[in-house]
């Protein structure tokens, strides 16, 4: 059977499945014409990054579309619908027709110009489009045993698709999934999952198929907690302007999610805690310092040093993991420290760009075009200007609630050898703070060989058992 015929057969089967599941109807009522604009907006936001894969999103589900046209391989599903496929035909009364949008992409990677193949996206009535930034090659698709196990049998808990407003942002209405233990007389402890940086939907998907927040929510809900995870503003089914948002905006959205959890009659408002990953971990610390009603926080790979330092250090370590020499990586690191300091010292984007251009002109050796474009692009992004200037230590030092912080020893994005000592000092006045480094885990808490971003998608594991055991055990101690 030819690949086109196989894809068509898969699409027809997906249509049959969708018709059996009425809960999906509303999610598929989007005309194909909306997709083209989403593609252009997406590529605009990714300028200066390397694009390795596109993901079509149907409702809050997603389907990977790799560079070699449509790769119709089945992948793990969200148990809310048990469907993950591209759809064609007449779905929920909306006629959708197959159309191919050829997108020629030649976006540079952070450190090297690497040309990509033509990407053909076969799009059929989808609700969102996201992208994976990373390697220039298509990693071999791995099994996702944790997600597959969740999807294989009915889950012993309830799921609700929920929406809630952020009263601080009129255009923002956030959409998410709330998982609840079986109905009982008691009110459940509540947990909010806060995603890290990037265009994350509710499951914080990475590597094409990994869905760590799905796995984490499943673990914690089976333990007796109500768990809320949500799409970031402007992503998935949430409204709002993602490109214009900065970390305080995302923190405001998380505060709205906390308020929503507390408003529910089946959640114990006095036992609502936060679990955040990467930037989400720092948002958890921000909220805990501002809201004494937060019951506890779990910080997975938080930053504990100023952003300008950490971003340059991330780039240095990842470049060496990708094969760059120590000397070349150190040279780029020194240049980036100068560039980022200039951006932080500027009062507006125009001044920042002028300073950056002056440094680039005088730099020896001459920076690559990719490096120059990235630095200039950073001056234009409100989010990056905030990140480079942000020092998380005051917010961390203000935490007085029970706190668990976890790092992986092979994390190249939030390196434990740099962050852990600074975090220990920042949390010194918190009487119930525990900080643990887990050997062998990368930034996404997978068992890894080097911690390189090239590995993320090729590892079967989504979350290491050690991470799940430590997190769930500590939360159980602080909620029961």
- pLDDT tens digits, residue range 328-361? 999 999 999 999 999 999 999 999 999 999 999 9
Q: Residue 7 has what pLDDT?
A: 44
pLDDT tens sequence across 46-84? 444 444 444 443 333 333 332 222 222 222 323 232 222
Distance, CA of 63 to chain centre: 16
Residue by residue, DSSP assigns 343-378 as HHH-SSHHHHHHHHHHHHHH-SSPPPHHHHHHHHHH
pLDDT tens sequence across 182-226? 987 689 999 999 999 999 999 999 876 799 999 999 999 999 999
Q: Are strands 267-277 and 188-194 parallel, antiparallel or unpaired?
A: parallel
Burial of 31 (0-12, 13-18, 19+ CB in 10 A): exposed
What is the spatial distance between Cα 216 and Cα 92, in angstroms, rounded to a whole number?
32
Give yes or no for residue 389 having a pLDDT over 50: yes
pLDDT tens sequence across 250-303? 999 999 999 999 999 999 999 999 999 999 999 999 999 999 999 999 999 999
Q: Are 196 and 278 in contact (CB under 8 A)?
A: yes
- What number of other Cβ atoms are within 10 A of residue 44's Cβ? 9
Task: Calculate the alpha carbon distances from 464 to 165, 207, 287, 358, 387 in Å.
Answer: 34, 16, 27, 46, 28
Count Cα atoms within 13 angstroms, Cβ side, for 390. 22
Q: Are 102 and 176 in contact (CB under 8 A)?
A: no
Tell me which architecture the domain covering 146-305+391-479 has in CATH. Answer: 3-Layer(aba) Sandwich (3.40)
Q: Are 301 and 212 in contact (CB under 8 A)?
A: no
How many residues in total does the chain contain? 480
Q: Residue 185 has what pLDDT?
A: 66
What is the spatial distance between Cα 330 and Cα 323, in angstroms, rounded to a whole number?
13
Q: Are 142 and 121 in contact (CB under 8 A)?
A: no
Element holding 477 (H helix, E strand): helix 465-479
What is the separation, in whole angstroms, between the first and last Cα of the chain?
A: 56
């Amino acid at each position: 059977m030819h690949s086109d015929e196989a894809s068509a057969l898969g699409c027809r089967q997906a249509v049959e499945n969708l018709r059996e599941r009425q809960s999906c109807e509303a999610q598929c009522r989007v005309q194909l014409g909306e997709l083209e604009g989403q593609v252009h907006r997406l590529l605009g936001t990714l300028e200066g990054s390397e694009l390795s894969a596109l993901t079509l999103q149907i409702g809050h589900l997603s389907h990977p579309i790799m560079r070699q046209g449509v790769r119709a391989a089945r992948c793990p599903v969200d148990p809310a619908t048990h469907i993950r496929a591209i759809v064609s035909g007449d779905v929920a009364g909306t006629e959708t027709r197959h159309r191919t949008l050829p997108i020629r992409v030649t976006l540079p990677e952070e450190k090297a110009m690497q040309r990509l193949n033509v990407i053909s996206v076969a799009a059929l009535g989808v609700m969102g489009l996201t992208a994976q930034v990373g390697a220039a090659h298509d990693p071999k698709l791995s099994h996702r045993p944790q997600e597959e196990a969740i999807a294989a049998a009915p889950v012993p808990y309830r799921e609700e698709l929920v929406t809630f407003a952020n009263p601080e942002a009129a255009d923002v209405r956030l959409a998410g999934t709330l998982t609840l233990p079986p109905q009982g007389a008691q009110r459940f402890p509540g947990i909010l999952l806060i995603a890290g940086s990037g265009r994350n939907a509710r499951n914080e998907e990475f590597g094409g198929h990994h869905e760590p927040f799905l796995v984490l929510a499943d673990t914690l809900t089976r333990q007796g907690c109500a768990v809320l995870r949500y799409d970031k503003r402007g992503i998935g089914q949430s409204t709002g302007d993602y490109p214009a948002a900065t970390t305080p905006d995302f923190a405001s959205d998380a505060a709205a999610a906390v308020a929503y959890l507390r408003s529910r009659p089946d959640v114990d408002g006095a036992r609502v805690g936060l679990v955040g990953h990467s930037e989400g971990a720092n948002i958890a610390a921000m909220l805990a310092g501002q809201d004494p009603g937060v019951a506890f926080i779990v910080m997975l790979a938080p930053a504990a040093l100023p952003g300008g330092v950490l971003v340059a250090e991330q780039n240095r370590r990842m470049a060496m993991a990708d094969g760059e020499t120590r000397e070349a990586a150190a040279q780029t690191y020194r240049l980036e420290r100068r560039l980022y300091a200039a951006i932080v010292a500027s009062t507006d984007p125009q001044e920042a760009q002028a300073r950056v251009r002056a440094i680039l002109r005088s730099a020896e050796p001459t920076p690559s075009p990719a490096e120059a474009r990235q630095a200039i692009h950073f001056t234009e992004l409100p989010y990056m200007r905030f990140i480079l200037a942000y020092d998380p230590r005051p917010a961390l030092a203000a935490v007085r609630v029970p706190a668990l912080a976890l790092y992986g020893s092979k994390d190249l994005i939030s390196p434990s050898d740099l962050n852990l000592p600074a975090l220990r000092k920042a949390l010194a006045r918190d009487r119930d703070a525990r900080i643990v480094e887990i050997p062998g885990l990368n930034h996404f808490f997978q068992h890894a060989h080097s911690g390189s971003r090239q590995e993320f998608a090729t590892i079967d594991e989504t979350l290491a058992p050690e991470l799940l055991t430590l997190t769930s055990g500590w939360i159980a101690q602080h909620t029961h």
